[in-house]
Structure 1
Amino acid sequence: MKTFLNPIIPGFHPDPSICRVGSDYYLATSSFEYFPGVPIFHSRDLIHWKKIGHALTRDSQLDLRDAGDSGGIYAPTLRYHNGIFYMVTTHVYAKGNFYVTAKDPAGPWSEPIYLNQGGIDPSFLFDEDGKVYLTTSQNMQSEIDLATGELLTEPRQIWAGSGGNDLEAPHLYKINGWYYLLCAEGGTHHGHMITIARSRSPWGPFESCPNNPILTNRHRAGHDVQATGHGDLFQAHDGSWWIVCLAIRTGKTHFPKTHHLGRETFLAPVTWDADGWPIINHSGTLDIETEAPRLPHQPFPEESPTDNFDAPTLSPEWVHLRNPKPEHYSLNERPGWLRLKADANSSRKQQPTTCLLRRQTDFECTASTLLDFKPTEEGQEAGMLVWMNSRFHYRCFLSIRSGRLHASLLKQIGDITHLANSVEVDTLSGPYTLKVEANSESYAFSIETSNCQKIDLGTGLVRLLTTEVAGGFTGMMLGIYANSCASPTTADFDYFIYNS
């Protein structure tokens, strides 16, 4: 039996939802306060995935200006019906549930159609008789008018779950004459689990699976894979059944185990017992090494670890913190360089307003960039970010201190802002290479001048940026930024390299 290594989409990619069109597979994950929202992936073999774009790319679709840490876009559901892709999701603390449509999952996607049903984690079922059902957390359900989003029935709970807390992530399926309701319980941390029930009617009554939960690692203390849940069931084009779900990898951290890469997307096989109930991964548990699909491998061309900023548009790997100002980012003002601009006194509390971030996908990795930056006054800075959220992050940057150019390392840990190191550098020795070297224990920061002089700025503990310390629902991001608490400033970046 051939195996593969989970996760199929590493790094901060939680709440996966999948749909198949012929022999092509498309997958969406949640994105929270990052813009553009809801990354979309494509695969032909379920193992190799390529990010092809985002569903929410315009301010008119997604306004994140007031979204706090771990606010914004929660779990999406991706479905395909009669030649149209549907992505339904929740903008928490704002406009609630809505959906967008597209003929091409790479975009463009339509303007939102809002749904007058509360809860989170919305999901659609397109039934054989033409009816469309909307199900949200607490397994509340209504029938909707697909053209307008209008509710055709009053929402009502169709199953109270198996007894776990935080009943969420519902997906209703029609399989062999049964309506199966898959959902998550136990909260999205170490008690996470997937449960299922079925009925002959979409309105119930629903019979709980006698083997619930059908997936959990909550009893496997010390296992590297934890928090398994929030799944989406599907049939491959060869007839086999599978599930995508989220889980975390705790890596090689000491007890108590922590995680910082975020909740990631995993894949597991599904079989069916004699009574018609699904069995996940033959054991109801999840592992790194897992039985592989028997589909022919169709990998995508390997992408370069270096982004030279030579393309006319940014790679879909890059995201912004909330909605960006387009005029703050330029790929053509200095060809071959990315120019970041910061307005006068533009800094939000504890975070930059002009930045680009990408997900950290490996415990051990190195990120570096070449920065050309000439600040003229104190309060202007540019450099690299190791970012969990606005209250927990590290910044390695250039700035003016006491009239001299300095390379500095700043640590933001909760309400403690600590300038860990600041070293004067020669203003004539730029541009400067900034580097972050990561392992499961720490981040090491350094700067190198144009004459190859390397300055070690210090290290920061991974543990202080883990979800268990920092809270929230996101994962570690690496990136570049420019900021100003004074006059406007401009910083140029020649490349960004991410090596695992």
Structure 2
Amino acid sequence: MNTIINPVLRGFNPDPSILRVGEDYYIATSTFEWYPGVQIHHSRDLVHWRVAARPLDRPSQLDLIGNPDSGGVWAPALSYADGVFYLIYTDVKSRTGAFKDTPNYLATASSVEGPWSDPVHLNSSGFDPSLFHDEDGRKWLLNMIWDFRKGRNPFGGIVIQEYSAPKNRLVGPAVRIFAGTELGYTEGPHLYKRGGYYYLLTAEGGTKYEHAATLARSKFLFGPYEVHPDNPILTSLGRPELPLQKAGHASLAETPAGEWYMAHLCARPAAGRFCTLGRETALQRCRWDEDGWLRLERGDAGQGREREEGEEAGGSGASGPAVPRELVRAPDLPAYPFDPDPQRDDFDEPRLGVQWNTLRIPPSTDWLSLDERPGYLRLKGMESLSSKHRQSLIARRQQAFRCEAETEVEFEPAHFQQMAGLILYYDTEDYVYLRITHLEGAGRVLGIIRTKRGEYDELLEAEIPLPDTGPIRLKAAVERVSVRFFYTDPESDWKPVGQPVDILHLSDECAVPLRFTGTFIGLCAQDLDGTRKAADFDYFEYRELQGETDESSRSAMR
């Protein structure tokens, strides 16, 4: 029997919206300030997944310049009707203080691979929108509403409003249909219809360790909605031994054979409560009970464990919230594996590979080139790592607790304001950077700079002198809670740079207010003098190492 090994989407792939169209399954996830916007993964067996599309790939669809850290694209929702794919998403422009600026948009395509349309602005009343296609052909937008007023619950409930496809806009009044439960922080609505009921699935409890999924139902679209008798239907709260924590923000898909699966957000702590890989996506198999309520296949609505030998149903395992499992029985479908992701990029293609992301801006020839020097990635230095506007940085998700990344760079800085190298990046407040620069009287040098909770530091007692010219190889070896850097020229052995550096600050949990992304590993260049000094990178290699301590890192089927 095939087994789904969770997380199915490892490393920074949160807020999953799952969809089946024919024999194809898709999951759309949030990308926040990273470009292109939205990742859509594809599978045919719910076991093997690949990135199939990144729809928001041009400024007319998504302008992230100036967006705050952990702003940008929140909780996309993917749906399909009448031969058209619908993508709903929020572009968060501000997220701290009393107010949130959260314009919600709709883009469409006849194929997931695109091209995707320029977006239509729908509303800005809250975030986490989704589109429900009713059996009568009418379409309804749902989102949480943000209530900034003094003394009010800012998570003001779930509202619904009709969307007119012919008019390409919302019509009629917005109606609040669900106030939420005592868990609070009601968001992430998805609506389904089955057996004469409308089922409203929401995220509650906040997206930290109290996170949960709540289900409610009604015979009528506008309610009133009755909450699941064993709410929440999914959570990790109170079970610190589970490998998957923060479970919540879920969506549902039905197989052609009538089996149901829930995609949900989760996270794996690297140590303590720090999740350096960010929030990921897992799958759970579900079933409908005789009363028409959804339950997880394993754990019923109990504590998420199978009954011990001799334990009767209704015993200690039959009360309390359901929890996710690391290994899940897959549907009875033929295995559909994809080619493994390449470990090495020699920058020989005319475009960046699908693994690469940029910050707030798309790749463009004014700062990135793959053809000015064939076989090399040329990055022209722009703004500092503190900038929320235009950085010369490309990066990929860190997806395993133990991994290595290396590159070879040619860069001849003229002064200290010019830098280039290899970076572990969370956001403008937290990163660790092995960079080449220039010092007066010393010439070209190598050192480590770190920003932790916004505090800048230089970690070496003295910068390492380098030859004035020639390529330098750089490597980062990540061991769960730390990174060790190395360097060499192409003819020599690797030499360490300083001591291992703690990287637990590259996590959601290390800052107030809460953040929402994960660690990226990549290449960057800065020129604070404004002359766009270029660095040429010959290759980039990312390797996940054997010996991961958690089963969820393995990709083979059982």
Q: Distance in 1 between matches of 2:351 and 2:532?
A: 24
Deviation string, structure 1 residues 394-453 (Cα, Å, up to 9, x no partner): 01111111241111111111232111122111224x311110101112011111112214
Letter in 1 for 2:82: N
How far apart are residue 213 of structure 1 and its match? 0.4
SS of residue matched to 1:75? strand
Summarize the Cα distance change of 1:356–1:290 in structure 2 as closer, same or farther, 3 Å threshold: same
Alignment of 1:169-208 (within 5 A): 169-208=188-227
CA contact (8 A) 1:260 1:475 kept: yes
Q: Distance in 1 between matches of 2:495 and 2:387?
A: 25
Q: After alignment, is 115-124 or 391-400 more displaced? A: 115-124
The counterpart of 1:276, out of the listed 269, 274, 292, is: 292
Q: Distance in 2 between matches of 1:419 and 1:360?
A: 23
CA contact (8 A) 2:210 2:246 kept: yes
Letter in 2 for 1:484: D
Instruction: Tell me which residue corresponds to 1:12.
Output: 12
Q: Distance in 2 between matches of 1:454 and 1:374?
A: 21
Q: Distance in 2 between matches of 1:5 and 1:325?
A: 34
Alignment of 1:3-402 (within 5 A): 3-93=3-93, 96-116=103-123, 118-137=125-144, 138-251=157-270, 253=271, 256-283=272-299, 284-324=322-362, 326=364, 327-343=366-382, 346-347=383-384, 349=386, 353-402=391-440
TM-score normalised by length of structure 2: 0.86
Q: Distance in 2 between matches of 1:278 and 1:425?
A: 62
Deviation string, structure 1 residues 338-365 (Cα, Å, up to 9, x no partner): 111124xx33636871010110000000
SS of residue matched to 1:85? strand
Instruction: Tell me which residue corresponds to 2:467.
Output: 426
Summarize the Cα distance change of 1:2–1:35 in structure 2 as closer, same or farther, 3 Å threshold: closer
User: Which ranges of structure 1 fall in alignment gaps of 5 or more residues?
Assistant: none
The counterpart of 1:499, out of the listed 529, 543, 550, is: 543
Deviation string, structure 1 residues 252-301 (Cα, Å, up to 9, x no partner): x2xx3321101101011011111010112422211222222221110001
How far apart are residue 209 of structure 1 and its match? 1.0
Letter in 2 for 1:49: W
Q: Distance in 1 between matches of 2:190 and 2:6?
A: 23
Q: Distance in 1 between matches of 2:12 and 2:385?
A: 24
Q: Distance in 2 between matches of 1:490 and 1:164?
A: 52
CA contact (8 A) 2:102 2:126 kept: no
Instruction: Tell me which residue corresponds to 2:528.
Output: 485
Q: Distance in 2 between matches of 1:467 and 1:29?
A: 17
Letter in 2 for 1:185: E
Instruction: Tell me which residue corresponds to 2:455.
Output: 416
How far apart are residue 77 of structure 1 and its match? 0.4
SS of residue matched to 1:468? helix
Instruction: Tell me which residue corresponds to 2:476.
Output: 436
CA contact (8 A) 2:189 2:202 kept: yes
How far apart are residue 237 of structure 1 and its match? 2.1
SS of residue matched to 1:37? coil
Letter in 2 for 1:294: D
**Count of aligned positions:** 494
CA contact (8 A) 2:4 2:46 kept: no
How far apart are residue 488 of structure 1 and its match? 2.5
Q: After alignment, is 227-236 or 138-147 more displaced? A: 138-147
TM-score normalised by length of structure 1: 0.96
How far apart are residue 222 of structure 1 and its match? 3.5
Q: Distance in 2 between matches of 1:300 and 1:225?
A: 25
Deviation string, structure 1 residues 155-186 (Cα, Å, up to 9, x no partner): 12112222211100100111122110000110
SS of residue matched to 1:230? strand
SS of residue matched to 2:178? coil
Letter in 1 for 2:523: I
Q: After alignment, is 356-365 or 371-380 more displaced? A: 371-380
Letter in 2 for 1:282: R
How far apart are residue 146 of structure 1 and its match? 2.2
Summarize the Cα distance change of 1:485–1:167 in structure 2 as closer, same or farther, 3 Å threshold: same
Summarize the Cα distance change of 1:235–1:394 in structure 2 as closer, same or farther, 3 Å threshold: same
Deviation string, structure 1 residues 44-79 (Cα, Å, up to 9, x no partner): 111111112211001011010110100111000000
Q: Distance in 2 between matches of 1:55 and 1:357?
A: 18
Q: Distance in 2 between matches of 1:2 and 1:308?
A: 35
Q: Distance in 1 between matches of 2:123 and 2:509?
A: 34
Q: Distance in 2 between matches of 1:360 and 1:425?
A: 29
SS of residue matched to 1:399? strand
Q: Distance in 1 between matches of 2:166 and 2:238?
A: 45
How far apart are residue 325 of structure 1 and its match? 5.7
Q: After alignment, is 456-465 or 67-76 more displaced? A: 456-465
How far apart are residue 484 of structure 1 and its match? 0.8
Letter in 2 for 1:490: A
Deviation string, structure 1 residues 109-128 (Cα, Å, up to 9, x no partner): 00111113511110111111
Summarize the Cα distance change of 1:348–1:264 in structure 2 as closer, same or farther, 3 Å threshold: closer
Q: Distance in 2 between matches of 1:411 and 1:348?
A: 11
CA contact (8 A) 2:408 2:472 kept: yes
Summarize the Cα distance change of 1:342–1:324 in structure 2 as closer, same or farther, 3 Å threshold: farther
CA contact (8 A) 1:368 1:434 kept: yes
How far apart are residue 380 of structure 1 and its match? 0.7
The counterpart of 1:460, out of the listed 501, 525, 530, is: 501
Q: Percent identity?
A: 38
Q: Distance in 2 between matches of 1:230 and 1:48?
A: 22
The counterpart of 1:450, out of the listed 490, 498, 512, is: 490
